[in-house]
Structure 1
Amino acid sequence: MKKKVWAGGVFAACLAVGVLTAAPLYTGAAELPAGLTAGGQDLGGLTREEADQKIREYVSSMENQKITLEIGDQSVETTAKDLGFHWSNEDAVGEAVGKLTEGNLLKRYMAARDLEKEGAEVKIETAVDSGAVETFVNENCSGLAGAAQDATITRVDGQFQITPSAKGVVVDIEATKNALDQAMAEGLDQPVQVAAVVTESDPKITTEMLETIQDVLGTCTTDFSSSGASRSKNLQVGSAKINGRVLLPGETLSGYECMQPFTTANGYATAAAYENGQVVDSIGGGVCQIATTMYDMALYAELEITQRQNHSMTVAYVKPSMDAAIAGTYKDIKITNNYDTPIYIEAYTSGKKLTFTCYGKETRPANRKVEYISETLGYVDPGAPIEKVDNSMAPGARKRLQSSHTGLRSRLWKVVTVDGKETERTVLHTDTYNASKAIYAVGPAAAPPTEAPAPVETPPAETEPQVAAPVEGVDGGPGVSAPQQSAEAPAAGPGSEAPEAAAPAPQPETAAPQSSAEVPAPQPETPADNGGGPA
């Protein structure tokens, strides 16, 4: 005889983790009539509390059943309990059973008579927990499914080498959870096997995208031949941390984020840097030359300059307004790929020269040329030197601790020509560089004589002691070789301004060199800003 179903439904999978802790559903001492079952368990003659306990024991008996999740040709095993298996329709069962033990006596009597004739089955619904399923899949299945592999690119011996991309598959958590629910709804008398639902995933960087990287978009080389071992090391270490970076369209590279932290543990040494108008020793001193070289490369590649600040004082390795400083997070060089294809940044030191090159897909016309012209607008005299008395020195002795720095104001012009005819002349930014006094250590004043000195035939001529060399690594070295460049210009970076009214056109001798030949830069008595500390 077919039994009447009191609480419809199938074993559904909802999610909840842990041991069943809900309070009993039934109260009162009335016994359930014969013929009532739940999940195949006979509840006739039991009180509501006893029926509740029997159902819980029935659900608990299924918690340790083995569940096998198949992913392709591999599989992982767990238990129903570990997936948060639990009794999910307690309220519905309680309502159905209550009709037989509580309320109107006539209705209870009629229900009991029906049970005697037909019997009734109360459906016990169970479920697993979505969060537990997701955790299980993430911890045990992600590697089995095979994540998508991005293509990678490196430059070896002047040639690009690409590791191809590969599509992958990922486990669909929600669909897999539903499949588990359906399988366990059929019962857990036997181990359950479920095939995970997977979807195909695409790599972020494909082989085809990286194959477009073939052309030199912009390059720049600066010289650090006068730098000592510590500063040279910092340039080698810092540039290596940027070398090989790939920027997808719209992505931004921060020089500071690539190179920091400036610590000995991260490979840096102590070298000279600018701080508050003075040259000081700082871990990572010299990395501002990296920022400058990257900036000039970006200018000729016509990338978007997202952030750039000049040094507090002039540097010797590039012309004014062609420099960029790094100091903490408030002075940084950030460049953004405004091309429709990826770009590759190459950075290295060789033979006391630092080189940055941007590779990508050239889209600018071959007959279009761009150059950048530094124009000095005025100078500021540093004034009289500062003297610091050093009592350990001989009276009248004098030693230079820091050279003077002439301040100046300058601006940078971007000039574009097509077939040799000028089509654009724009001021990118105007910069101010502080003046700084020379600093000397001097011995204490000589004590006045207590008696007249013995006469001498010829008094010795006063001579000033030999001036000491500047702090190691302060001289930035000569010149900058002009970056190579080719065509169409994106918008100028932040800080651009229109040319000042009636401003004279810069003279050719102020232009940055436009060939790969090394051209000496002006050599004021100015140390190179070496970064690492406030510029």
Structure 2
Amino acid sequence: MAARKKKRELSEKAQKRIRQRNLHVGITVIAAIVIIFSVIQFTLWRYVSKVDEEHICKNVFIGKTDVSGMTKEEAVKAVNNTLGDYRNKQLVLKVKDQGADVSIEEMGAEVENIDKLAKKAVGYGKNGSIWSRYQKIHNLDKKKYVIDESFKVDEAKLRELIQERAVPLEQKAVNASASYNGSGFDLTDEAEGYTVDVDKSVKKIKNFMNKKWNYEDAEVELKLDTEEPTIKKADLESLQDELGSYTTNAGWGDRVQNIRRATELINGTVVMPGEEFSVEQATLPYTEENGYVAGSAYENGQIVESIGGGLCQVSTTLYNAVLYAELEVTRRAPHSMSVSYVEPSRDAMIAEGISDFKFVNNYDTPILIEGYIDGNNQLGFYIYGKDTRAAGHSVEFESETLETTEYTKKYVEDTESAVGSQETEGAGMDGSTARLWKVTYENGEEVSREVINNSTYQTSDVTVKVGTKSDNAEATKLVEEAIATQDQEKINAAISKASALK
């Protein structure tokens, strides 16, 4: 028993020594690890602490720009300079197989959030744990770090560029057309077109610049919308009858050129059911570039020369054709003074922004307007369609003058002009009030009569300015006394006597 007890005591002492030895070893290992870790930490700290907090680490790029060693402000400037070097790069705005070039500079391109990018570049390798900072900085020895950039454009400038350069490349839809050949109608096919969707195109370009542009020439397919023709060939197959027509004498002088030009612009027009036609809109703009010249027109009781003068004869002739076709007139106004080419109340004045002639196609099928000046200088308008009026139905129009006011002629002194000289102002036209009757016949018998318009025409009085300026007081007095009588014969006689006294 004593031997076993002694042996057990010796074993316990041995185990205690082993435990103590293991403890010492463990403490030594831990101490070594702590020392090694501390050394590593210290080494890493010394490595990363050498990095300047205000300057960007080496081998750091913002897009194409090497911003190594720069401050935030210097990096912003460098990136902007890089973009400036590429300002002439072109972006082709594609419209089908055509393209319009715009430069990066024209679009007002800028690097988006450039301050934020520069701040990120400065902070690279300077945030996080020492180990992560070390890894980032150490990796820069082998591989550059690139901060991706995106670009923004000036939307207003971009929209303007699209309108100016891409929209003209659109292919407008082509409507079917018709022309009368003397025995029937020649019809042409319609064709689809395409237009630029400016809003969606702006969005697409902005997205491209923001995500894909890499400082090189590039192209973007613009967003297009299909444009359907409004008039189809099938619509025009109903044309078969003359609904109404009217002719006037085109007259003479430069105004004939204006009549011819406006008639060309209206000729061949198809008006769909329910559609309103405006002579003004069809013939604008009234400029020399659009083929118009100065011609006689009415203005403030005078006959003056005006670009497009004579157009009212076009609207007037068409107005009468419309009346015979029994289309719905929605806007018509008489001239300020009566005209010579139609009876009172059969005219329709055109004055840009003031007066227009409009009508609506109240048939269920399209109508075709044809107009021309023939070899006898006759201006004619013909309206074709599908006549649904009863057989034997016809209409006529009668002008009735209700009251006439004769123009006056007045002689006045012109003290600044030589005695006996005469200058006439005013057209010398009577004023009147009139109305137009629509008379309807069925099988040759009158069945109704109604007033369709009332018109008032101003007088255009004449003023004759007679010169009274002379070094001879007697000559001046003779003419002045004659002017006071307002008698033309006495005035002419006084002028003859005054001329002899000079």
Q: TM-score range by the shorter chain?
A: 0.5 to 0.7
Q: Is the counterpart of residue 303 in structure 1 residue 292 in structure 2?
A: no
Quickly say closer, same or farther: Cα 1:76–1:318, change in 2 above 3 A. Answer: closer
Q: Which residue of 2 is the match for residue 180 of structure 1?
A: 208
The structure 2 residue matched to 1:442, chosen from 466, 489, 495, is 489
- Check conservation: 1:100, 1:111, Cα contact below 8 A: no
Structure number with higher relative contact order (C-alpha < 8 Å, ≥ 6 residues apart)? 1
Aligned residue for 1:310, secondary structure, equals coil
Q: Which residue of 2 is the match for residue 335 of structure 1?
A: 358
Give the distance between the partners of 1:420 and 1:376, measured in 2 at CA: 22
Give the distance between the partners of 1:78 and 1:328, measured in 2 at CA: 37
1:269-308, aligned counterparts within 5 Å?
276=301, 289-308=313-332
- Check conservation: 1:310, 1:323, Cα contact below 8 A: yes
How far off its partner does 1:115 sit? 1.9
Q: Which residue of 2 is the match for residue 348 of structure 1?
A: 373
User: Could you list the per-position Cα deviations for residues 484-530 of structure 1 after superposition, in whole angstroms to 9, with x for gaps in the alignment?
Assistant: xxxxxxxxxxxxxxxxxxxxxxxxxxxxxxxxxxxxxxxxxxxxxxx
- Check conservation: 2:265, 2:283, Cα contact below 8 A: no
Quickly say closer, same or farther: Cα 1:42–1:369, change in 2 above 3 A. Answer: same
In structure 1, list runs of 5 or more residues that go unmatched: 1-27, 102-107, 393-400, 448-535
How far off its partner does 1:167 sit? 2.9
Q: Is the counterpart of residue 167 in structure 1 residue 192 in structure 2?
A: yes
Give the distance between the partners of 1:198 and 1:354, measured in 2 at CA: 46
Give the distance between the partners of 1:241 and 1:78, measured in 2 at CA: 38
Q: Is the counterpart of residue 238 in structure 1 residue 259 in structure 2?
A: yes
How far off its partner does 1:219 sit? 0.9
1:90-169, aligned counterparts within 5 Å?
90-96=114-120, 110-118=128-136, 123-129=147-153, 131=155, 147-151=171-175, 153=177, 155=179, 158=182, 164-169=189-194
Quickly say closer, same or farther: Cα 1:215–1:122, change in 2 above 3 A. Answer: same
- Check conservation: 1:176, 1:197, Cα contact below 8 A: yes
Amino acid at match of 1:196: E
1:205-224, aligned counterparts within 5 Å?
206-208=231-233, 215-222=241-248
TM-score, with length taken from structure 2: 0.56
Q: Which residue of 2 is the match for residue 252 of structure 1?
A: 278
Amino acid at match of 2:276: G
Quickly say closer, same or farther: Cα 1:412–1:79, change in 2 above 3 A. Answer: closer
Quickly say closer, same or farther: Cα 1:370–1:217, change in 2 above 3 A. Answer: same
Indicate the RMSD between aligned Cα atoms, in angstroms: 5.5
Q: Which residue of 2 is the match for residue 486 of structure 1?
A: none
Aligned residue for 2:212, secondary structure, equals helix
How far off its partner does 1:296 sit? 1.4
Aligned residue for 1:92, secondary structure, equals helix
Give the distance between the partners of 1:37 and 1:275, measured in 2 at CA: 74
Q: Which residue of 2 is the match for residue 16 of structure 1?
A: none
- Check conservation: 1:69, 1:196, Cα contact below 8 A: yes
Quickly say closer, same or farther: Cα 1:242–1:178, change in 2 above 3 A. Answer: same
User: Could you list the per-position Cα deviations for residues 193-234 of structure 1 after superposition, in whole angstroms to 9, with x for gaps in the alignment?
Assistant: 54524435325554536666554232112357xx6x54xx63
The structure 1 residue matched to 2:226, chosen from 190, 201, 204, is 201
How far off its partner does 1:250 sit? 2.4
Aligned residue for 2:318, secondary structure, equals helix
- Check conservation: 1:38, 1:122, Cα contact below 8 A: yes
Give the distance between the partners of 1:311 and 1:429, measured in 2 at CA: 13
Give the distance between the partners of 2:219 and 2:459, measured in 1 at CA: 76
Q: Is the counterpart of residue 358 in structure 1 residue 386 in structure 2?
A: no
Give the distance between the partners of 1:47 and 1:444, measured in 2 at CA: 97
- Check conservation: 2:436, 2:452, Cα contact below 8 A: yes
How far off its partner does 1:334 sit? 0.8
Amino acid at match of 1:221: T
- Check conservation: 2:260, 2:372, Cα contact below 8 A: yes
Give the distance between the partners of 1:432 and 1:95, measured in 2 at CA: 79
Q: Which residue of 2 is the match for residue 500 of structure 1?
A: none
Aligned residue for 1:125, secondary structure, equals coil
- Check conservation: 1:303, 1:335, Cα contact below 8 A: no
Give the distance between the partners of 1:74 and 1:261, measured in 2 at CA: 31
How far off its partner does 1:257 sit? 5.6
Give the distance between the partners of 1:334 and 1:125, measured in 2 at CA: 59
Quickly say closer, same or farther: Cα 1:403–1:34, change in 2 above 3 A. Answer: closer
Amino acid at match of 2:379: L
Amino acid at match of 2:264: N
Give the distance between the partners of 2:123 and 2:101, measured in 1 at CA: 42
How far off its partner does 1:114 sit? 2.1
Quickly say closer, same or farther: Cα 1:296–1:52, change in 2 above 3 A. Answer: closer
Q: Give the fraction of aligned pairs with identical amino acids, expressed as a percent.
A: 22
Give the distance between the partners of 1:46 and 1:433, measured in 2 at CA: 84
- Check conservation: 2:177, 2:270, Cα contact below 8 A: no
- Check conservation: 1:63, 1:79, Cα contact below 8 A: yes
Aligned residue for 2:438, secondary structure, equals strand
- Check conservation: 1:252, 1:334, Cα contact below 8 A: yes
Amino acid at match of 1:442: E
Quickly say closer, same or farther: Cα 1:135–1:223, change in 2 above 3 A. Answer: closer
How far off its partner does 1:285 sit? 7.9
Quickly say closer, same or farther: Cα 1:378–1:64, change in 2 above 3 A. Answer: closer
Quickly say closer, same or farther: Cα 1:122–1:111, change in 2 above 3 A. Answer: farther
- Check conservation: 2:432, 2:458, Cα contact below 8 A: yes
How far off its partner does 1:253 sit? 1.2
User: Could you list the per-position Cα deviations for residues 41-86 of structure 1 after superposition, in whole angstroms to 9, with x for gaps in the alignment?
Assistant: 7767654445545555665666666766666556677765565543
Task: Give aligned pairs, total.
Answer: 390
Give the distance between the partners of 2:381 and 2:284, measured in 1 at CA: 15
- Check conservation: 2:93, 2:101, Cα contact below 8 A: yes
Give the distance between the partners of 1:161 and 1:56, measured in 2 at CA: 63
TM-score, with length taken from structure 1: 0.53
In structure 2, list runs of 5 or more residues that go unmatched: 1-51, 140-144, 413-418, 421-425, 463-485, 495-502
- Check conservation: 2:294, 2:305, Cα contact below 8 A: no
Give the distance between the partners of 2:166 and 2:309, measured in 1 at CA: 47
Quickly say closer, same or farther: Cα 1:341–1:40, change in 2 above 3 A. Answer: same
Q: Which residue of 1 is the match for residue 393 of structure 2?
A: 369
Structure 1 range deviating more: 168-177 or 62-71: 62-71
Give the distance between the partners of 2:352 and 2:334, measured in 1 at CA: 14
- Check conservation: 2:331, 2:356, Cα contact below 8 A: yes
